[in-house]
């Protein structure tokens, strides 16, 4: 998971806008999205698999209570990619949207796949959602005792009455297929059954799984495997004869780096490759398509927690191989057929894998932290019950430049209020190589004042404060942000302290009182959070109080 990508979740859900680079770089837009939405979402992710953000930003602290790490006892991976979103309109009508993906919450450019189902509340219970309910009940155990746990339980209780619809007449039935939780294992989902046609798309494979799928083929079965070139060495010559094997062409994998003139010297380019996980199988005239997180690997079907959506597809004259025609295209096929197993390409070193496993092992150790306050100074003590052997670790608060060798008791002195938090950066090193990740450590004693300090670190002057108020009062967040950016680019100083700006702001307040009075509560909340006369202009205070008094008279 990428914390910078995670910022896009509250922006989309609370402001109903996309997070492109323009809005990501505007702190007001991001701050308001988090203020509105941080208490309305929960993210579960593999412990030890949170990426170190490129830029430190205090807003990451506002998402700490929404992120829950999952560390499996069997040292396998928590690997599902599932979103469940509940919407409610002004008439209290409820809509659920379920997304099943192969994609992580990152900015990775690889090719992925996703499917969405929407469901509305019915009067009768449905047993169709039982696997989905069990999946989320499993996740609740990783939240601890907090308000989010109760919110998730409430959503789970509603799922018994939510009737999901694929919204496609050719999909008469579907099933939810979690893996790695109680009573939901490999044999239950239907992939490992006899077939006449099989298409497997999997970026990572294990010889044992591909071999098992190969042996399930009925006579004259057609078998297709699409994977990464770096995985081909795991196939045997027999498998290469039995399967039609394809990979993306080098020109596609190289992506933008292959376009001459578009990349500056020294600039890092991102490769792209297959990351989708799809299984399509036919037996007689029955077609099933599985989409989700499970690779064709031993771990995926023997210990990992995964999630697949099984779709039954029914259409006269349809063949599973029709999917290939759509993927390969009529003219420029992005895939190439593999006839010979190439020499093994160099992948991540064994040492890098060892460092990654060391961090994952560290995440399975009991840990805690607490804040020590002396006068106006803060110290921070982090405690681990044990330290894994095999590599060296350093630790530091995510929002701090301080970093110390990890011991069972590690003490940080002279920590600022903004540097306190539950996110910590971990660095594992050995023989000159290193791996860095973010982990959560429950930190007790963080002052309530820290939340206000985050706002003050962004709304640090009257210029930004007035801009924020105008943003809160706007009818359209997107349009407001574009106007602000335009004024900024023109250099007109629109949000300066010129008293000529106040009539326009006053007009916006009157309009808000008449059409959207609830927005005034947002302004009032920000005023209480900031509580700083150097930031909130005296002229605005007078304007605001005059307006509030007038609004009350109009209301009477």
CATH of domain 3-165: 3.30.870
CATH of domain 173-257+270-337: 3.30.870.10
Q: Provide, rounded to the nearest whole percent, the portion of the chain with pLDDT above 70.
A: 86
3-class DSSP assignment, residue 225? strand
Q: What is the mean pLDDT of residues 494-522?
A: 62
pLDDT tens digits for range 68-115 = 999 998 789 999 999 999 999 989 999 999 999 999 999 999 999 999
What is the DSSP track for 479-500? Answer: HHHHHHHHHHHHT--TTSS-TT
Q: How many residues does the chain have?
A: 556
According to the model, what pLDDT value does residue 379 have? 96
- Whether residue 375 is predicted with pLDDT greater than 90 in this model: the reply is no
Give burial (CB, 10 Å; 0-12/13-18/19+) of 316: exposed
Across the chain, mean pLDDT equals: 86
pLDDT tens digits for range 347-372 = 667 899 899 999 999 999 999 999 99
Question: Max Cα separation, the chain?
Answer: 85
Strands 409-415 and 423-430: unpaired
3-class DSSP assignment, residue 42? coil
Q: What is the mean pLDDT of residues 126-146?
A: 92
User: What's the per-residue H, E or C state across 126-180?
Assistant: CHHHHHHHHHHHHHHCCCCCCHHHHHHHHHHHHHCCEEEECCCCCCCEEEEEEEC
pLDDT tens digits for range 201-230 = 999 999 999 999 999 999 999 999 999 999
pLDDT tens digits for range 382-404 = 999 999 999 999 999 999 999 99
3-class DSSP assignment, residue 23? helix
Q: What is the CA radius of gyration of the chain?
A: 27
pLDDT tens digits for range 238-261 = 999 999 999 999 999 887 555 444
Contact indicator for 293, 81 with CB cutoff of 8 Å: yes
pLDDT tens digits for range 35-63 = 888 888 999 999 999 999 988 888 899 99
According to the model, what pLDDT value does residue 105 have? 95
CATH of domain 361-446: 2.60.40
According to the model, what pLDDT value does residue 483 have? 52
According to the model, what pLDDT value does residue 520 have? 75
| Confidence band of 312 (pLDDT split at 50, 70, 90) | very high
Give burial (CB, 10 Å; 0-12/13-18/19+) of 462: buried
């Amino acid at each position: 998971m990428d914390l910078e990508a995670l910022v896009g979740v509250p922006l989309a859900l609370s402001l109903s806008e996309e997070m492109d680079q323009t809005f990501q770089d505007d702190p007001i837009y991001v701050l308001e999205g988090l203020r509105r939405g941080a208490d309305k979402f929960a993210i579960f992710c593999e412990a030890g698999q949170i990426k170190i953000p490129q830029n430190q930003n205090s807003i990451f602290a506002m998402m700490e209570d929404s992120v829950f790490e999952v560390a499996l006892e069997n040292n396998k991976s928590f690997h599902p990619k599932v979103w469940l979103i509940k919407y409610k309109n002004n008439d209290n009508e409820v809509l659920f949207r379920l997304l099943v993906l192969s994609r992580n919450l990152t900015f990775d450019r690889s090719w992925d796949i996703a499917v969405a189902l929407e469901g509305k509340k019915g009067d009768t219970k449905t047993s169709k959602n039982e696997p989905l309910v069990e999946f989320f009940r499993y996740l609740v155990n990783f939240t601890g005792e907090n308000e989010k746990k109760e919110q998730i339980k409430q959503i789970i209780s509603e799922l018994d009455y939510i009737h999901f619809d694929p919204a496609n007449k050719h999909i008469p039935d579907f099933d939810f297929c979690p893996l790695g939780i109680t009573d939901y294992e490999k044999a239950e989902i239907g992939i490992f059954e006899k077939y006449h046609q099989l298409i497997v798309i999997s970026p990572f494979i294990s010889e044992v799984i591909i071999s098992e799928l190969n042996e399930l083929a009925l006579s004259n079965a057609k078998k297709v495997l699409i994977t990464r070139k770096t995985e081909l060495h795991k196939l045997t010559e027999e498998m290469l004869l039995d399967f039609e094997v394809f990979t993306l062409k080098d020109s596609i994998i190289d992506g933008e780096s292959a376009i001459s003139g578009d990349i500056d010297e020294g600039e890092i380019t991102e490769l792209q490759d297959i990351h989708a996980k799809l299984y399509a199988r036919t037996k007689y005239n029955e077609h099933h398509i599985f989409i989700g997180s499970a690779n064709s690997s031993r771990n995926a079907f023997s210990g990992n927690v995964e999630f697949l959506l099984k779709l039954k597809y029914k259409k006269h004259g349809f063949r599973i191989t029709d999917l290939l025609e759509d993927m390969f295209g009529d003219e420029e096929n992005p895939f190439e057929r593999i006839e010979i197993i190439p020499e093994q390409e160099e992948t991540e070193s064994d040492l890098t894998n060892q460092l990654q496993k060391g961090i994952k092992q560290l995440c399975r150790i009991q840990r805690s932290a607490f804040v020590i306050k002396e006068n106006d100074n803060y110290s921070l003590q982090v405690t681990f019950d044990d330290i894994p052997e095999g590599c060296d670790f350093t630790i530091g608060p995510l929002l701090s430049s301080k970093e110390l060798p990890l011991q069972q008791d590690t003490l940080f002195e002279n920590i600022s209020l903004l540097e306190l938090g539950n996110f910590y950066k971990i660095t594992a090193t050995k023989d000159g190589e290193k791996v860095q990740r973010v982990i959560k450590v429950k930190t007790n004693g963080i002052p309530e004042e820290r939340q206000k300090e985050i706002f003050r670190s962004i709304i640090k002057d009257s210029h930004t404060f007035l801009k924020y108020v105008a943003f809160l009062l706007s009818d359209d967040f997107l349009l407001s942000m574009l106007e602000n950016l335009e004024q900024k680019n023109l250099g007109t100083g629109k949000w300066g302290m010129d008293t000529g700006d106040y009539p326009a702001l006053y007009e916006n307040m009157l309009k808000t009182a008449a059409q959207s009075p609830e927005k005034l509560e947002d302004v009032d909340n920000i005023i209480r959070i900031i509580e700083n006369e150097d930031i909130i202009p005296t002229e605005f205070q007078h304007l605001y109080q005059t307006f509030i008094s007038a609004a009350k008279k109009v209301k009477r």
